[in-house]
Amino acid sequence: MPWQGRFSAYAVQGGMLIPMAGELAFVFADGPRVYWRGRAKQAEFKLAA
């Protein structure tokens, strides 16, 4: 089943611009049906050297 993601509320976290909100949907013939929505409060990164 094809799916799509939509992301928004971009903010700088840990020196990187990332989406803080998003939703995922399965794509049916009659259009997408959202099955998950979420919002992050904060993000931390530990990047490999």
pLDDT classification of 46: cutoffs 50, 70, 90: confident
Contacts of 12 (CB under 8 A, 6+ apart): none
Distance from C-alpha of 1 to C-alpha of 6, rounded to nearest angstrom: 17
Query: For residue 18, what pLDDT is reported?
Result: 96
Report whether 20 contacts 11 (CB < 8 A): yes
Q: Is the pLDDT of residue 45 over 90?
A: no
pLDDT classification of 48: cutoffs 50, 70, 90: confident
Model confidence pTM above 0.85: no
Query: Can you give the residue ranges of every domain in the chain?
Result: 3-38
pLDDT (tens digit per residue) in 2-38: 999 999 999 999 888 999 999 999 999 999 999 999 9
Other Cβ atoms within 10 Å of 13 Cβ, number: 15
Query: For residue 2, what pLDDT is reported?
Result: 96
